[in-house]
């Protein structure tokens, strides 16, 4: 359990670095989203093949393929909107708002499957909305484009909620973690390639890094944040009680804000810190009050709440 706990925090830290890589990349936001998954595809399939040789791999049944396609589409939208959000608003705001995905998961269950939320969830939702209002207030003073970035962060959370719901269905049916990561990452890369090419043509931003350092940044995004981060958290949550997923949910956006302050020089004003604390408290309450996670089911891949 101690190793699993270390893996949980290490994975959350790796994922917290992803917005830093996005800011440092010398390609456009959509291009960096594409390279994030495209460069991860060979690594994930190699790891999957290595694990499959030591254990009997379960091929994805045809009934799962629709959910795999849905997960790929959702993750493509999630990454595209989130990478643009990082460009327009602060790393702290963008990451915090992406973590609203856990709330949208329960709202979707309420609207689509009539699973009524608990009072604790509604209290968490109210707190999160108050915190979002505080973050928006700081964005108005941050830059003229920050409000757009905040809105894109909320859209990111919606797409990520869709991704989590699709992945949870596949995991509940017994799909292996590496198989799931490899397949959905491949689908996401295939979907993002034409979007990235069109965006690069329209905006004039480079599709390919201009220097070796640029490729190293994209490799960090693909191998450290996407592959190692998601993989470590998926491993940890398979060996820890479900309640620990809330720990990574709270730890990751805090570390992202700290990294942005230390590495990018992004200041954290008092109202933003207070708003972030209220959002995190709301997410924690909503998570506690959600009926989505049950102890006998594996948690969804990427339960850290951030792409």
Q: Which residue, among 94, 90, 89, has the nearest Cα to 261 in the 3D structure?
A: 90
| Helices and strands, counts by H and E, the chain | 14, 0
List phi, psi (to 5°) of 118: -80, 165
pTM (predicted TM-score):
0.84
Torsional class of 277: left (φ above 0), alpha (ψ -120 to 50), beta (otherwise): alpha
pLDDT in tens, the chain (307 residues): 578 888 888 988 999 899 999 999 999 999 999 999 999 999 999 988 887 776 554 555 555 778 889 999 999 999 999 999 999 988 888 988 888 887 888 788 777 777 777 888 888 888 888 888 888 778 777 777 888 999 999 999 999 989 888 887 887 777 777 888 899 999 999 999 999 999 988 888 889 998 999 999 999 999 999 999 888 887 777 777 655 665 566 788 888 888 998 998 888 888 888 988 888 888 888 777 765 444 333 344 554 556 6
- For CA atoms 238, 290, 151, 248, the dihedral sign is negative
Token pair 């924690």 is found at 284
Among 170, 130, 141, which Cα is nearest to 285's?
130
């Amino acid at each position: 359990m101690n190793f699993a706990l270390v893996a949980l925090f290490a994975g959350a830290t790796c994922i917290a670095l992803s917005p830093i890589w996005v800011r440092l990349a010398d390609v456009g936001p959509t291009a960096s989203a594409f390279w994030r998954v495209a460069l991860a595809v060979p690594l994930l399939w190699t790891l999957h093949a290595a694990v499959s040789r030591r254990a009997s791999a379960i091929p994805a049944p045809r009934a799962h393929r629709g959910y795999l396609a849905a997960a790929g589409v959702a993750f493509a939208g999630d990454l595209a909107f989130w990478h643009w959000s990082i460009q327009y608003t602060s790393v702290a705001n963008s990451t915090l708002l992406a973590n609203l995905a856990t709330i949208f998961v329960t709202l979707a269950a309420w609207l689509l499957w009539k699973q009524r939320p608990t009072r604790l969830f509604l209290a968490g939702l109210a707190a999160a909305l108050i915190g979002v209002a505080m973050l928006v207030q700081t964005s108005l003073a941050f830059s003229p484009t920050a409000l757009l970035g905040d809105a894109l962060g909320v859209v990111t959370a919606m797409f990520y909620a869709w991704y989590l719901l699709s992945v949870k269905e596949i995991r509940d049916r017994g799909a292996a973690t590496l198989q799931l990561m490899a397949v959905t990452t491949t689908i996401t890369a295939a979907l993002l390639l034409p979007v990235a090419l069109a965006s690069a043509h329209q905006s004039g931003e480079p599709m390919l890094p201009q220097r070796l350092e640029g490729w190293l940044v994209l490799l960090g995004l693909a191998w450290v944040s996407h592959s190692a981060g998601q993989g470590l958290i998926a491993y940890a949550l398979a060996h820890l009680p479900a309640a620990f997923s809330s720990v990574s949910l709270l730890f990751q956006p805090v570390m992202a804000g700290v990294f942005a302050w230390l590495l990018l020089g992004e200041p954290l004003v008092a109202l933003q810190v207070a708003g972030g604390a209220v959002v995190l408290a709301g997410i924690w309450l909503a998570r506690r009050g959600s009926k989505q996670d049950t102890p006998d089911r594996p948690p969804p891949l990427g339960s850290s709440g951030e792409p």
